[in-house]
Structure 1
Amino acid sequence: MNQILFATDASVSAERAKDMVRHLLQSWPQAKLTVLYVTRSINAYEPASDESLDAERAAFKEIEELAEHEWFSEFPERVKCKHVYGEPAMVISLEAKEHGADLIVLGGRAVGQPDPLLTGSVSHGVLYISQVPVLVVKGDATPEFAAV
């Protein structure tokens, strides 16, 4: 494993996925990580307000700070953060393919049912369209109990 793409929005399910990513980085010392934050494209008929764009930029900056100084601080040379705009499932899948990712990691809704419709719209979309392997971390999954 050389390249991991971690798509996050800093939600509860993404928090669990972040723990899995840390475990993967510890297991593969050569692996590099891209932390990806996607801002959903705004409908052309409803232009984004300056406030909403500022809020998205601030959300990315917060994720970037957390990723570099808390979440993955023990891997400073191996982590980069990126903010992109578009339809999240499509953008995540394309970014992974274009950057040679070996694995996409993202959180899914924390539900107990194995119904794919309850996975979450973004994670379900990535599972459906990605040409790169996808790991969706759901529920109370932790690295100690997850199969890698």
Structure 2
Amino acid sequence: MKKILCATDGSDYSKYAAERTKSFLKIWPEAKVIVLYVTAKENYAYDLVPDAVERYEENVANQIKEEVENQLFAA
């Protein structure tokens, strides 16, 4: 296997998917993991301030990245 797609939205189902991905990596350690995260668009009171929305979405992306990395690569 060359690539593994791990989709996440922070739900219990996606945590299970991360665990499955982790088990696949044990079998195919050379595989490249692609993480797809999905979040619902929130209606912000400050939607007219794009920089604030971008910062918020960047923070969410970093939190998801950290969570997935911890799930997949923690000992």
- Alignment TM-score, normalising by the size of structure 1: 0.38
Instruction: Report the residue type matching 1:71 in the other structure.
Output: Q
**Structure 1 residues 12 and 39, CA, compared in 2 at 3 Å: closer, same or farther?**
closer
Report the structure, 1 or 2, having the larger helix content. Answer: 2
Q: What are the ranges of 5 or more consecutive residues in structure 2 without an aligned counterpart?
A: none
Structure 1 stretches (4+) deviating beyond 3 angstroms? 38-41, 50-55
Q: CA deviation at 1:9?
A: 1.2
Which residue of structure 2 aligns with residue 23 of structure 1?
23
Instruction: Specify the SS of the correspondent of 1:61.
Output: helix
CA contact (8 A) 1:25 1:31 kept: yes
Matched position secondary structure for 1:29: coil
SS in 2 for 1:6: strand
Question: Which residue is 2:68 aligned to?
Answer: 67
Equivalent pairs, count: 68
- The answer as to whether partners of 2:7 and 2:35 remain within 8 angstroms in 1 is yes
CA deviations on 1:69-95 (whole Å, 9 max, x unpaired) are: x11225xxxxxxxxxxxxxxxxxxxxx
After TM superposition, the structure 1 = structure 2 runs for residues 1-148 of structure 1, keeping only pairs within 5 Å, are 1-39=1-39, 49=47, 50=49, 52-68=53-69, 70-73=70-73
Contact 1:39/1:56 (8 A) holds in 2: no
Structure 1 residue 19: Cα displacement: 0.7
Report which structure shows greater RCO (CA 8 Å, sep ≥6): 2
Distance in 1 between residues matched to 2:39 and 2:64, nearest whole Å = 13
TM-score (norm 2): 0.68
CA-atom RMSD, angstroms? Answer: 2.6
**Inter-partner Cα distance in structure 2 for 1:54 and 1:61:** 10
Identity of counterpart residues, as a percentage? Answer: 33
Superposed CA offset, 1:81-140 (max 9, x none): xxxxxxxxxxxxxxxxxxxxxxxxxxxxxxxxxxxxxxxxxxxxxxxxxxxxxxxxxxxx
